[in-house]
């Protein structure tokens, strides 16, 4: 191999090596850029205060889908009910309502849908004290996992 060929091979290798090293540095600069963006996002998330913004939104109104016992016009007022069950399964809630109506026919039962849940509530109690008396009665009858909730009640 003569000197020209050696020089040509040397230059070719040097050129190839420099091209490969440039492409590697470009890739690492992209990775560095992504890391910087990630760091900047983390800093932004730490300093973000949502209370500075007016976030008005609409809530889904609750729907009372229960069967009324009578057609008498009733006035809705603030009061309390006893919540028997809360579930995302309508059939489960209806089954529990039928079961409770057989056990306690003297109460009104209300199946309420507040997306994504179905709630079974009973009674129309004007005061919390009145609701607590009925809650105690239900506990004595071994009805558990129930609680008193404020609600609009039907007053006659």
Q: Dump the DSSP string for 30-69.
A: HHHHHHHHHHHHHHHHHH--GGGS----PPPPPEE-PPPS
Look at the block and give the residue holding tokens 């609750």. Answer: 62
Q: Would you kindly state where each structural domain of the chain is located, as residue ranges? A: 3-52, 63-155
Cα angle: 142, vertex 144, 146; to 5 degrees = 135
Give the model confidence (pLDDT) of 127-140 as tens digits: 999 999 999 999 99
Give the model confidence (pLDDT) of 34-62 as tens digits: 566 656 656 656 666 666 665 555 444 45
0.75 exceeded by the pTM?
Answer: no
pLDDT means per 10 residues in the chain (156 residues)?
A: 73 75 56 60 62 55 50 75 94 94 93 92 93 91 88 83
The domain made up of 63-155 has a fold known as Alpha-Beta Plaits (3.30.70)
């Amino acid at each position: 191999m003569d000197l020209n060929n050696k020089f040509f091979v040397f230059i070719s290798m040097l050129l190839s090596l420099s091209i490969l090293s440039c492409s590697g540095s470009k890739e690492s600069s992209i990775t560095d850029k992504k890391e910087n963006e990630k760091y900047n996002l983390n800093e932004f998330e730490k300093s973000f205060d949502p209370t500075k913004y007016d976030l008005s939104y609409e809530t889904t109104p609750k729907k009372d889908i229960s069967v009324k016992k009578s057609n008498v016009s009733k006035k809705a007022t603030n009061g309390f009910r006893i919540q028997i069950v809360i579930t995302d399964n309508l059939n489960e809630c209806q089954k529990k309502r039928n079961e409770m109506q057989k056990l306690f026919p003297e109460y009104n039962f209300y199946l309420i849908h507040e997306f994504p849940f179905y709630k079974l509530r009973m009674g129309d109690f004007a005061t919390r004290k009145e609701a607590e008396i009925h809650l105690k009665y239900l506990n004595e009858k071994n009805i558990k996992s129930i609680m008193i909730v404020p609600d609009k009640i039907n007053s006659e």
